[in-house]
């Protein structure tokens, strides 16, 4: 008996499951899916027509980590599309579990740091300039006078900023209890959880799939991937979330005989989309073989930016995957770098911001990080020849940017410093990846 047959038979035949139609594509079905996806994509991507719109948990949580201006636009979006939006039971649970943490994190990392950044970035620099040039400014009394005036004005502005932040913090805390979004969500179509028997069956299927997946090379194994496979099961309290969401949508599409749109921000980890931000086509084919319907998987960032004409980028460095999670810590990552054989001999400098950097880029577990590094090893000899003084961290960042053009590097103060679309290792500028220490 083949492994595929064994996997398919882990669940009752009558249940709709990913495994029931896994590796069942034919030329005929492939052609049908390509035609239907292509012909319907423009309307789906613009949210036109009557497609039901399913949202990933990270789309809901992004509300509380984006700017207040963006939130106003999102509030109107939910009002406009209220009758078409559907929330799965899994998404509802993940949202409720993580909502308060995101709200608090926004307050701590964004609003409260504005005065600190203003003080260190503006006031301190003016004071330092005055102090360093004290003897020189004696000959320029008018300039010195204007500098003092500028410093006083900046101090007054800092007071105004602190006052404004204080009022915002009050409204932020009130979000927990007087949240307009919650009221709107309560009016949406809210699905009930799948039956326990069904959930147990698909979780068993997930466990069987993960055993046979070579996580050291996801590119080679891409056709074997499935929703949630990029989670590190042994480090996650619930690795089944995306797989459950997929099956909730599967049953909804089958029961209602309708195509669906699924919006997600999970475009870097790979659970729903490729790094090119195109959907995993074999997910769409599996969905079609199970339901005769099309699932349009869309990048939420791109969709909202274009549809609502405002940037919905998260202003905090956390995602649903690292909230209440023990998946990755600075100590765990440092031990991984120190033990990684391909970086042997390099210095062991580590940056405190690296975990935030990894989470921001969608790398929240070692399995996915290691799989990405594996695809970059062909570049490593050239990187080490060109930059022999790179630390392990410098080598790591160079490797990640080599295979992931969207990977963003944080500076030591936690802000995004650079984004390389393509690295040329013959250029000396790449040494900046080592975060000032190589």
Task: Kindly report, residue by residue over 353-412, the tens digit of the pLDDT.
Answer: 888 888 877 787 787 788 888 888 888 888 888 888 888 999 999 998 888 877 888 776
Model-level pTM? 0.63
Q: What per-residue string of b and e applies to 220-247 under the rule 16 or more CB within 10 Å gives b? A: eeeeebbbbbbbbbebbeebbbbbbbbb
Task: Kindly report, residue by residue over 291-311, the tens digit of the pLDDT.
Answer: 999 999 998 888 888 887 766
Contact (CB, 8 A) for 22 and 286 = yes
Report in angstroms the alpha-carbon separations of 44 from 49, 189, 232, 288, 308: 7, 19, 32, 16, 15
**Token pair of 50 as six digits:** 């009557």
Distance CA 404, CA 421 (A): 8
Helix (H) or strand (E) holding 182: helix 180-185
CA angle 115, 121, 122 (to 5 degrees): 85
- Provide the strand spans (E) within 212-277: 260-264
Contact (CB, 8 A) for 24 and 289 = yes
Task: Kindly report, residue by residue over 148-157, the tens digit of the pLDDT.
Answer: 888 888 788 8
Task: Kindly report, residue by residue over 30-66, the tens digit of the pLDDT.
Answer: 999 999 999 999 999 999 999 999 999 999 998 888 8
pLDDT band at residue 438, thresholds of 50, 70 and 90? very low
DSSP letters, 155-166, are HHHHHHHHHHHH
**Token pair of 300 as six digits:** 């939420």
Nearest of 37, 3, 11 to residue 286 by alpha carbon: 37
CA angle 103, 322, 76 (to 5 degrees): 40
Query: Who contacts 383 (Cβ-Cβ below 8 Å, separation ≥6)?
Result: 390, 395, 398, 399, 402, 425, 430
Task: Kindly report, residue by residue over 183-232, the tens digit of the pLDDT.
Answer: 999 999 999 999 999 999 999 999 988 888 765 555 666 777 888 887 65
From first CA to last CA, the distance across the chain in angstroms is 53
Question: Is pLDDT of 120 > 90?
Answer: no
- Map out the domains of the chain as residue ranges: 3-92+188-308, 108-183, 330-434
Contact (CB, 8 A) for 73 and 306 = no
């Amino acid at each position: 008996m083949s492994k595929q047959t064994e996997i398919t038979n882990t669940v009752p035949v009558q249940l709709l499951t990913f495994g029931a139609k896994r590796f069942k594509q034919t030329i005929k079905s492939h052609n049908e899916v390509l035609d239907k996806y292509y012909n319907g994509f423009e309307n789906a991507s613009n949210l036109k027509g009557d497609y039901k719109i399913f949202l990933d948990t990270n789309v809901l949580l992004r509300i509380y980590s984006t700017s207040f201006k963006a939130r106003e636009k999102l509030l109107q979006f939910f009002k406009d599309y209220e009758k078409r939006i559907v929330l799965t039971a899994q998404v509802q649970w993940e949202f409720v579990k993580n909502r308060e943490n995101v709200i608090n994190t926004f307050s701590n990392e964004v609003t409260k740091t504005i005065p600190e950044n203003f003080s260190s970035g503006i006031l301190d620099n003016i004071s330092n300039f005055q102090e360093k040039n004290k003897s020189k400014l004696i000959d320029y009394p008018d300039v010195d006078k204007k500098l003092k005036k500028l410093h006083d004005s900046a101090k007054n502005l800092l007071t105004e900023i602190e006052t404004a932040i204080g009022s915002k913090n009050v409204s932020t805390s009130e979000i927990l209890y007087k949240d307009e979004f919650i009221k709107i969500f309560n009016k949406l179509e809210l699905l009930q959880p799948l039956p326990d028997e069904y959930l147990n069956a698909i979780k068993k299927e997930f466990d069987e799939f993960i055993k046979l997946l070579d996580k050291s090379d996801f590119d080679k194994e891409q056709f074997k991937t499935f929703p949630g496979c990029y989670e590190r099961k042994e480090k996650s309290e619930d690795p089944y979330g995306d797989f459950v969401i997929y099956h909730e949508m599967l049953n909804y599409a089958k029961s209602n005989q309708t195509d669906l749109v699924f919006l997600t921000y999970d475009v870097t980890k790979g659970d729903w989309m490729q790094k090119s931000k195109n959907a995993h086509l074999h997910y769409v084919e599996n969905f079609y073989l199970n339901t005769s319907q099309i699932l349009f998987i869309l990048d939420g960032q791109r969709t909202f930016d274009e549809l609502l004409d405002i940037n919905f980028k998260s202003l905090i460095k956390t995602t649903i995957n690292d909230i209440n999670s023990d998946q990755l810590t600075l100590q765990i990552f440092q031990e991984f770098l120190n033990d990684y054989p391909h970086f042997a001999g390099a210095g062991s400098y580590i940056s405190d911001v690296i975990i935030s950097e990894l989470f921001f880029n969608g790398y929240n577990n070692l399995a996915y990080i290691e799989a990405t590094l594996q695809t970059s090893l062909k570049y490593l000899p050239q990187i080490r020849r060109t930059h022999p003084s790179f630390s392990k961290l410098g080598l790591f960042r160079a490797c990640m940017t080599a295979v992931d053009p969207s990977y963003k590097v944080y500076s030591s103060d936690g802000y995004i410093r650079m984004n390389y679309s393509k690295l040329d290792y013959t250029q000396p500028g790449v040494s900046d990846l080592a975060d000032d220490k190589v």
